[in-house]
Structure 1
Amino acid sequence: MSNDPPKVDLRGTPYEIGFSHGQILAKQIGRQLQIYQNLFQETCKLDWPQVLETAEQFRSAAATLVPDLLEEMQGIADGVGREDVSLVDIIALNARSEIALGKWDDGCTAIAWKVGTTGKQIIAQNWDWRTTVGENLAMVSIEREGKPKIWMVTEPGIVGKIGFNSASVGVCLNAIRARPISTSLLPIHLLLRIALECHTVSDAIATIESLGGAASSQHILIADAWGGRGLELSPCGGVYLPEDEDGIIVHTNHFLANKLVDEPPWLSGSPVRLERARKLCKEIIREEGRDRLGQTVDAPLLRRRIFSDTVNSPQAICCSPDISRGGLARIETLFNIIMVLGEGKEPYAEVVFGRPGAGGESAPLMMPW
């Protein structure tokens, strides 16, 4: 990528945060709305008025459960400054995974790793999505009184995505295709934001449970300075995956333990990526030696050894576009993020935009910046 994504600092009340978001990223939000209008029409046979009807139902859930985030989304809509962009349009962006009813086939490979005995916690992923979205991504910080400061990589218009906070809580996301969907619960992007407003993993789990869980089946990989958990969430209940004997959780795009939903097989590469990522982690442990992991396992090593991997391409850990699919349907790795958390240490992340190891990716960008 020739141009680095914008870095946007947001602070103030929920409405002020949203208004600045919408104002600064108005051009990108407009492009996102056009992309998703086309995607819903092509893949779900839904025109935009039908999408907005479902978004209106999520407005009611947000008003009841997270009125502050609804206020922030109102600010985004107002900040864009276009008569044809309303609050419900912004809700549709934030609920796009749920409104699609599991008809989209995004990827993503995520890893949480409590590294050795050094107190270093890594949480990382490749985010795979429609190629056309890549030019619109932004790096955002959010400061709100009484809450940890947040840094995340997001799609403009969306209030919660992949990132970490000043309390050393980090989140990654894996999409799951399963039924049912519940419009009385919160979309996954709102739950990601809620998790990023928490001080510990256990606090995030308790908060998500108090809100009734997720509106759709999704996996949030979450970690703090003391370890990670894999949150296999659904409207029917959640299952929380522990670390393995090496302090590792690996997740792709199918549930490993949550049997509460109807999950038909849908992404053939997901089990392949899961086993491949596990195998590569084991190889690193064997080759580096357990006693040295805390010193040697870092962002450059993980990008080189795991997140650049192209086995089973195009559905590889480093996903490449399938040339047999039309332009709008093509999916690839749009960014890699590797977050480093630790007790008593300042959390940070390295982000590479584009496909890591492919030659056209950005230089690593730091968060905080």
Structure 2
Amino acid sequence: MEEQKQNLIILDITRDDGPRIKMITEAGMIGKIGLNELGIGVCLNAIKVPGCDPSRLPVHLALRSVLDSPSVDDAVQQLDEVGIAASAHILIADKRKAIGLESTAETIRLVKMDKENRIFHANHLLLAHDGPVEAGWLADSPSRQQRIQRLASELSSDTDGKPNATDITRIFDDHDGFPHSICRYEEGPLGMDATLFSIVMELRGRTAMISLGRPCQPDETIVLEFE
């Protein structure tokens, strides 16, 4: 629901026992999407698969644990050992590598970079998992995945494989196949929420640019950076 925009907050967390964190989340959520001062970034794709295991780490605590981590490998190892309580796709990256963690209440599977060092993920499972699987929660998720892969390949070709943050932001402002487009409105037969925000991180420079609202009509642009 677009009304959820009023609950979005930017957190700047400084403490003595871990790296400084900057993230965007909903009020009351301990962890969500952002980066830390060491250049570790995390993003989330919602996945709807039945089941919850209370002995494992809740999804938003898993996101926070990534932002508490000193490296991608450390974050992945910790989550693989502890497990994630429910379904999600958590993308973890630094300036050298990225890896995706697809989880259900029973399993974690790793999504690795393709030959061009990219990972694409929408709102459905890409890998095989044990136990219950989703029943096509969002029918347009595969088409959005294919669309962003195509746009990214065209962009990579046009920019000699070196797109910048502005180039990537334009991909989010794509309306092909509306209302099943990457830029989402609170319209259409699926009853899907509108895009609340988009984020592009440049982890070499430890910066991120957040566009609040739909990419085509942003309400505000916020830059996260470390001095």
TM-score w.r.t. structure 1 length?
A: 0.59
Letter aligned with residue 320 of structure 1: Y
Pairing of 1:109-128 with structure 2 (within 5 A) = none
For 1:314, the equivalent position in structure 2 comes to 179
Letter aligned with residue 200 of structure 2: I
Gapped regions of structure 2 (runs ≥ 5): none
Q: 1:286 to 1:193 in 2, by over 3 A?
A: same
**Pick from 166, 169, 174: which aligns with 1:303?**
169
What is the SS of the residue equivalent to 1:249? coil
For 2:127, the equivalent position in structure 1 comes to 257
Q: Matched residues in 1 for 2:54 and 2:44: separation?
A: 20
Q: Matched residues in 2 for 1:210 and 1:268: separation?
A: 32
For 1:233, the equivalent position in structure 2 comes to 103
**Does the alignment pair 1:362 with 2:219?**
yes
Q: Matched residues in 1 for 2:13 and 2:152: separation?
A: 33
**Does the alignment pair 1:187 with 2:58?**
yes
RMSD: 1.6
**Pick from 322, 331, 350: which aligns with 2:193?**
331
For 1:33, the equivalent position in structure 2 comes to none
Structure number with higher relative contact order (C-alpha < 8 Å, ≥ 6 residues apart): 1
Give the CA deviation at 1:302.
Answer: 1.1
**Does the alignment pair 1:282 with 2:148?**
no
Give the CA deviation at 1:323.
Answer: 5.6
Which structure would you say has the larger Rg?
A: 1
More helix by share: 1
Alignment coverage as a number of residue pairs = 225
Q: 1:302 to 1:180 in 2, by over 3 A?
A: same
Q: Matched residues in 2 for 1:268 and 1:143: separation?
A: 41
Cα deviations across residues 16-75 of structure 1 (Å, max 9, x unaligned)?
xxxxxxxxxxxxxxxxxxxxxxxxxxxxxxxxxxxxxxxxxxxxxxxxxxxxxxxxxxxx
Segments of 4+ in structure 1 off by > 6 A? none
For 2:20, the equivalent position in structure 1 comes to 149
For 1:353, the equivalent position in structure 2 comes to 212
What is the SS of the residue equivalent to 1:178? coil
Give the CA deviation at 1:233.
Answer: 1.5
For 2:10, the equivalent position in structure 1 comes to 139
Letter aligned with residue 165 of structure 2: A
For 1:340, the equivalent position in structure 2 comes to 202
Letter aligned with residue 93 of structure 2: A
Q: Matched residues in 2 for 1:319 and 1:354: separation?
A: 10
Q: Matched residues in 2 for 1:258 and 1:218: separation?
A: 14
Give the CA deviation at 1:366.
Answer: 0.7
TM-score w.r.t. structure 2 length?
A: 0.93
